[in-house]
A and B are shown apart, each in its own frame.
Chain A
Amino acid sequence: MQLDDLYRRVIMDHYKKPRNRGTFDADVVTIDLNNPTCGDRISLQLQVNDGIVEAARYTGEGCSISMSSASMMTEAVKGKTLEQALELADRFSAMVKGEDVTFDEYEDIEALSGVCKFPARIKCATLAWNALRKGIEEPI
């Protein structure tokens, strides 16, 4: 078990300097999701126009893995159609389960591939992506 497989520099960079952290003033889709086993929580906001995610922001509390994953996700979905965003979420799930996938759209995400070797942390990594999925599949 190599800790550096998990805590890569790019992850710590997103943790320390989160992208898209905050909320929108405008009326947007908001998804609140908890990880009840550990207490991590995220509030994700999606600004969707004509089926395109124009921007995403989040607030929440959690470990370096859950928060860096949220930071990366909100970067990656910008400008994507809802369908593309869902496909990204699927690909992310596959990656943290150990499948060999790439994220040419936003390579930072690949730094989280090491999570697959830390099964207890997969739920941390997928929290933000599950919020995204919920926001798209169960529009409020």
Chain B
Amino acid sequence: MIGRELREQFPILNQEVNGHPLVYLDNAATSQKPRSVIDAVKRYYEWDNSNVHRGVHTLGSRATDAYEGAREKVARFINAKRTEEIVFTRGTTTAINLVASSYGRTVCQEGDEIVLTPMEHHSNLIPWQQVAKATGATLKYIPLQEDGTISLADVEKTITDRTKIVSVMYVSNVLGVVNPVKEIAEIAHRHEAVMVVDGAQSTPHMRIDVQNLDCDFYTLSGHKMCAPTGIGALYGRKELLNTLEPIEFGGEMIDFVDLYESTWKDAPWRFEGGTPIIAGAVGLAAAIDFLEEVGLENIQQHEHQLAGLAIDKLGAIEGLTIYGPHQGRVGLVTFNLDDIHPHDVATVLDAKGIAVRAGHHCCQPLMRWLNVSSTARASFYLYNTEEDIDRLAQALRETKEYFSDAIG
């Protein structure tokens, strides 16, 4: 039950865009939502809506149960040891900023090192730049191989005893590579550094087991995995999480408040000041149910097939350059077509009902490494089909023709 059969469950896919049936290939930016998720959020607002953790009344209990139930679901989904290891956040950006602002600024001192890669999304780059500026720590980068992958030999060379934090994306939103984060974590731990894994692009597409990865922090964004926007999570190893100071203060996160001093709840609640994203968490729980029902293994296999097909079909178009390795990648293809600017490519594709992303994908340093200013990207999810790839390939051939005529 994947691909075509799933499409019916996504109401948004059943529409025409510019006179053509919509082909949605911008899933790495955000995924579409199945009816079950939309209904869960609607039902929450129609029946259970209330504030959590304070009301004595029935709705308050239901809302609290739904919210805390969602936390349990996330914990099981990524195989965290304990439910309290899951902090709800707005998404991956907020999650990484929390780790950087709280943990990073506390543990880093002048001369310490924070290790990243040049392929990181801006959200796993700028928070660490800010930590480095504030603490005097140094940023170090694991170099990329020619095909955009990371070699463990380079990881060994880059991480030292001065390294306090290693933060790497599991899956690249541009190159489609799957980074060896488990092995990197092992090397980081040997040097007593903590390992942060940006899971924004991995969690929607493959089975995640944070205990097996042995990372210290892991982040995810709900909206890329069929959940609503505005909800995500930070996983943190319990013993670490409870040493972190909150960065937002207010209601819900306190233990005891006096006029001049206050104390905090334990993690994760100390990081969730204010009324939390309750409906978002309910939607995320429904999204997890949906993904589990389809099966993460099935999703991964389906996308792997689509990526292979896309590489074959797009690679056959003369003048089309695909970035990143052609093997061992996830379901996205980043490319440029001749010297036609990706914005122009995306506009022509949009006129044919095909949604792709064009730009720097929040990876400006990686664009410079690739020696391009921007690229186009088609990214797949569980509802995409082989026909979508055919439509894309055909539309790209027409784009090429259109611009050779227009420029002519």
Contact = CB atoms under 8 A, between A and B. Distances in A.
Interface of A: 1-3, 6-7, 9, 12, 15-16, 37-41, 61-65, 118, 120-121, 124
- DSSP class of B's interface residues: helix, strand, loop or mixed? helix
A39 B344 contact: no
A39 B364 contact: yes
A17 B13 CA distance: 41
Given A1-B18, A1-B350, A65-B344, 18 more contacts: A7-B402, A9-B406, A12-B406, A12-B408, A16-B407, A38-B360, A38-B374, A39-B373, A40-B343, A40-B374, A61-B373, A62-B341, A62-B343, A62-B373, A63-B342, A64-B344, A118-B347, A121-B347
Given A64-B341, A64-B344, A121-B347, A39 B402 contact: no
B317 interface: no
A48 to B, nearest CB: 29
Interface of B: 18-19, 341-344, 347-348, 350-351, 358-360, 364, 367, 373-374, 402-403, 406-408
Contacts of A121: 343, 347
B55 to A, nearest CB: 42
Contacts of B358: 38
A41 B350 CA distance: 23
B407 A63 contact: no
A3 B364 contact: no
User: Which residue among B341, B342, B367, B373 has the maximum number of chain A CB atoms within 10 Å of its CB?
Assistant: B341
29 contacts: A1-B18, A1-B19, A1-B351, A2-B351, A3-B351, A6-B347, A7-B344, A7-B402, A7-B403, A7-B406, A12-B407, A16-B407, A38-B360, A39-B360, A39-B364, A39-B373, A40-B373, A40-B374, A62-B341, A62-B343, A63-B341, A63-B343, A63-B344, A64-B341, A64-B344, A65-B343, A65-B344, A120-B347, A121-B343
A39 B407 contact: no
A38 B359 contact: yes
Contacts of B343: 38, 40, 62-63, 65, 121, 124
A1 B350 CA distance: 9
Nearest to B399: A3
Nearest to A124: B343
A118 B349 CA distance: 13
Contacts of B406: 7, 9, 12
A135 B341 CA distance: 27
A120 B358 CA distance: 11
Q: Which 9 A-B pairs have the closest CB atoms?
A: A63-B341, A63-B343, A39-B360, A38-B359, A1-B18, A61-B373, A39-B374, A12-B406, A3-B351
Contacts of B348: 3
Contacts of B347: 3, 6, 118, 120-121
Nearest to A15: B407
Contacts of B351: 1-3
Nearest to B358: A38
Contacts of A15: 407
Contacts of A37: 359
Contacts of B360: 38-39
A40 B364 CA distance: 11
Contacts of A118: 347
Contacts of A40: 343, 373-374
Contacts of A2: 351
A39 B341 contact: no
A6 B402 CA distance: 12
A96 to B, nearest CB: 15
Nearest to B373: A61
Contacts of A3: 347-348, 351, 402
Nearest to A64: B344
A82 to B, nearest CB: 31
B343 to A, nearest CB: 4
Contacts of A41: 373
A81 to B, nearest CB: 33
Contacts of A7: 344, 402-403, 406
A85 B257 CA distance: 60
Contacts of B364: 39
Nearest to B360: A39
